[in-house]
Amino acid sequence: MAKEQAAPRKRSEGAGASPARRASDRGHYGRLSRERVLASALQLVDREGLSALSMRRLGAELGVEAMALYRYAASKDALLDGLVEALYLELEEQLAAGPEPGTTAVDARARASAWRAELHRIARATHEVCLAHPQVMPLLSTRMLAVPLARRPLAVLRHHERVLALLQGAGLDETRSVAVFRAFTGWVLGYVSVELQAMVDNPEESDPAFRLGLHRMPPQELPRLRETAATLAEQGGPGDLAAGLDALLDRFVRVEEEREPRQNRTGPDKPPTRDAQD
């Protein structure tokens, strides 16, 4: 963001947006900004997919030569990281929008697991943001594998911090909060990935079986998959995301009590789950 009022300065600090002048007024100076570049890139990717994003194409989209973009993103990879950042900013915004006041009196139990409700809120918002930008989703997994923690966009790090603070604020020690952090991150990421998996083979087709392209799958080798494909193609929605999250939290938060003896138990002992909300 540019600063509002430009104090007279002698050097550098390129002519911030002093209120009287708008970017569109200028000849061809100051047309760009990091926000404009990233917004345009996001829009382009949403519209035409990741493979449509090239420096030249994005430049054209902004009425500018490709090289001009390098002033706002050091490389194409940095631009991609910018897209990831944009998603996390959107997530932040959405989380800030509805903090679920819950001003009414709450009993101790509900207050105690307010952090659990907050995790659910984050998971759900993440789900929504990702579904809103399905084409960007591949970047979320890909860039996380490529960019070391310390070099990730600030918005991403803030998000990590937020989750960690939630867990440690709930009294989890470092070891356990890390375990829960990983379980949370992994589950949300994995669930959304599966939710967005490509299923439709031929969108033109009306017949469900042909739409899915089932005729391409050898019938005797993949009987159940063929039968189940239609159901598989539906989305699980936020309900199963929440259910799984509950299950994971129950397990990973309570591990402390029982400590180690867990391997392949299938015992009928049920976790005292649902305490967070409703």
In the complex, the smallest distance separating the C-beta of residue 29 from its own copies, rounded to whole angstroms, is: 32
Of 57 and 160, the one with the shorter C-beta distance to its own copies is: 160
109 contact, one of its own copies, DNA, none, CB 5-8 Å limit per kind? its own copies
Q: How far is the CB of 25 from DNA (least distance, A)?
A: 7
Q: Which entry of DNA, its own copies, none binds 64, CB below 5 to 8 A by partner kind?
A: DNA
Q: Of its own copies, DNA, none, which one sits near residue 32, judging by CB under 5 to 8 A according to partner kind?
A: DNA
Pick from 236, 230, 278, 270: nearest CA to 250 = 270
Q: Which is nearer to DNA, 28 or 224 (CB)?
A: 28
Burial 63-94 (b: 16+ CB within 10 A, else e): ebeeebbeebbeeeeebbbbbbbbbbbbbbeb
In the numeric block, which tokens belong to residue 16? 């911030």
Q: Residue 165 touches which of DNA, its own copies, none (CB < 5 to 8 A by kind)? A: its own copies
Binding site for DNA (CB under 7 A): 6-15, 18, 21, 26-32, 53-57, 59, 63-68, 70-71, 75-77
Nearest approach, Cβ of 184 to its own copies (angstroms)?
Answer: 9
R_g of the chain, CA atoms, integer Å: 24
Under a CB-based contact definition with an 8 Å cutoff, are residues 187 and 166 in contact?
no
Distance CA 55, CA 76 (A): 7
* Closer residue to DNA in complex, CB, 64/144: 64
Q: How far is the CB of 65 from its own copies (least distance, A)?
A: 25
Which among DNA, its own copies, none contacts residue 53 (Cβ within 5 to 8 A by kind)?
A: DNA
Cα gap 9→6, rounded to integer Å: 8
Q: Using alpha carbons, select from 204, 185, 201 the residue that is nearest to residue 193.
A: 185
Out of its own copies, DNA, none, what residue 28 binds, judged by CB under 5 to 8 A for its kind, is DNA
- Enumerate the H helices of 53-198 as residue ranges: 55-61, 76-97, 108-112, 114-132, 137-146, 154-169, 174-196
Nearer to its own copies, 26 or 274 (CB): 274
Instruction: State how far the Cα of 237 lies from the Cα of 104, in Å rounded to an integer.
Output: 29
CB of 80 to DNA, least distance (A): 9
44 contact, one of DNA, its own copies, none, CB 5-8 Å limit per kind = none
Residue 74 or 154 having the CB closest to DNA: 74
> Shortest gap between Cβ of 13 and DNA (angstroms)?
5
Report, in Å, the least distance between residue 200 CB and DNA.
Answer: 22
> What secondary structure, in 3-state letters, does 26-70 show?
CCCCCCCCHHHHHHHHHHHHHHHCHHHCCHHHHHHHCCCCHHHHH
Q: For DNA, give the closer residue by CB, 27 or 268.
A: 27
